[in-house]
Structure 1
């Protein structure tokens, strides 16, 4: 049950600044609408929708916004979002996976390609990066939920693959198949998770220095600012000192 995920460096996570909150809610709403349209509009019967709502609530998205996004999925003539994935490389050979929900594939592809080029990277073929990542379920609990020992024991009993605790949170990893079951078991004991989602976890990481790290973080920031982009994953590792300097 041990590992070296170094979550803070592997997947760059921006804080939920007020200036980003509106855009963040828009992304949550798009995922909720897409999930409700693909499956049933009832979260009890739709695991993807349930996970999307959980993620939105964890960031204090208003209940009205969530209900409006679900209702939108049932409206005639509403946008049909297509799930697309782009894979490419940033300076220094860092692999990046971009997941998007779009109603215009050509527009999104052009924007993503342009951003990679702008910051010294390049898009690759599908599979060029994802083969070096694992598709996993990730569940995050605040430290207040329980001790590291309690969380580890509960993770093992629930069927999780990995459980790590650091100074910020408890991080659990599951297989895709076990994700919903593990999430439900942990919720019985600790309440709703801070976040829970299916994501990409790199098998190995690439160390980047300040020069390459600056371009990399600008690329990730720009991709995340795109309305169509839902999530960005990268297999980089950066020292805390460099990360703090570039994130300031």
Structure 2
């Protein structure tokens, strides 16, 4: 399984689900506000806002919360968030890309650096690892959308570039430019996607040794727990045998 999919599994097995849900809604709201402020406050006219709203809906975020986040963009005196990308290495040399939205660059940089250093990682300079990833569109469907053959046929007809299927679901990859068109075509054949977003896809995946896996998961959890961090991407792959040992 790819890094981002494994990351979802980590989130699911963590406790305090209500707290996690609240934190997730906060991050989704921040992205919606930033997207609305950068363009028109209409999802139909603002591709980035449409992605943000769809992501929020996929997590069952209430419509009122979504609308408040959009309205916040036009409010006088609202927060101004800056987009920052951090790059570094986790345990075992795993490459990680951390995307953040922050109103305090110094605070976020300190928190991210601390998370790396306390969990066996090293924060690198801009561009340290992103050259090993491709910026692409990612459309995710649950396993219930159909078997691999059905989803593959639909994805190819829609103009997707690649598909990865596991027992957990289907990851459909597109170029950045084709993301919305492919997502729209797939919705007609497979229904509404679980998520539609821009992603960092590793060019080469690295198997994580059992000795490094737990530390890596702790690092990713520490980053995810930071309010400013929106997404963590990695080039790691963890075998089922290692996951079973970690419980």
TM-score tier after normalising by the smaller chain length: over 0.9
> Which residue in 2 is equivalent to 1:160?
160
The structure-2 alpha-carbon separation of the partners of 1:146 and 1:238, relative to structure 1 and needing over 3 Å to count, comes to: closer
> Which residue in 2 is equivalent to 1:129?
129
Deviation at 1:144, TM superposition (A): 2.5
1:47 aligned onto 2:47: yes
Deviation at 1:165, TM superposition (A): 2.3
Deviation at 1:8, TM superposition (A): 5.8
> Which residue in 1 is equivalent to 2:205?
205
- Distance in 1, Cα, partners of 2:244 & 2:105: 35
- Distance in 1, Cα, partners of 2:151 & 2:45: 27
> Which stretch shows the higher mean deviation, 8-17 or 107-116?
8-17
For the residue of structure 2 that corresponds to 1:12, the secondary structure is helix
Q: Is the 8 A contact 1:10 1:205 kept in 2?
A: no
The structure-2 alpha-carbon separation of the partners of 1:88 and 1:94, relative to structure 1 and needing over 3 Å to count, comes to: same
Point out where structure 2 has 5 or more consecutive residues left out of the alignment.
Answer: none
- Distance in 2, Cα, partners of 1:34 & 1:212: 36
1:189 aligned onto 2:189: yes
- Distance in 1, Cα, partners of 2:166 & 2:36: 35
For the residue of structure 1 that corresponds to 2:76, the secondary structure is coil
> Which stretch shows the higher mean deviation, 117-126 or 203-212?
203-212
> Which residue in 1 is equivalent to 2:29?
29
Residue 15 of structure 1, aligned match among 12, 27, 30: 12
Alignment of 1:1-248 (within 5 A): 6-7=1-2, 11-13=6-8, 14-15=11-12, 17-246=17-246, 248=247
For the residue of structure 1 that corresponds to 2:212, the secondary structure is helix
For the residue of structure 1 that corresponds to 2:172, the secondary structure is strand
Q: Is the 8 A contact 1:10 1:235 kept in 2?
A: no
> Which residue in 2 is equivalent to 1:3?
none
Point out where structure 1 has 5 or more consecutive residues left out of the alignment.
Answer: 1-5
Deviation at 1:11, TM superposition (A): 4.9
Q: Is the 8 A contact 2:3 2:233 kept in 1?
A: no
The structure-2 alpha-carbon separation of the partners of 1:8 and 1:127, relative to structure 1 and needing over 3 Å to count, comes to: closer
Deviation at 1:33, TM superposition (A): 0.6
The structure-2 alpha-carbon separation of the partners of 1:10 and 1:164, relative to structure 1 and needing over 3 Å to count, comes to: closer
Per residue, is there more helix in 1 or in 2?
A: 2
State how many pairs are aligned. 242
- Distance in 2, Cα, partners of 1:140 & 1:120: 31
Q: Is the 8 A contact 1:143 1:168 kept in 2?
A: yes
TM-score under structure 2 length normalisation: 0.93
Q: Is the 8 A contact 2:3 2:236 kept in 1?
A: no
Q: Is the 8 A contact 2:3 2:235 kept in 1?
A: no
Over aligned residues, Cα RMSD in angstroms?
1.6
TM-score under structure 1 length normalisation: 0.93
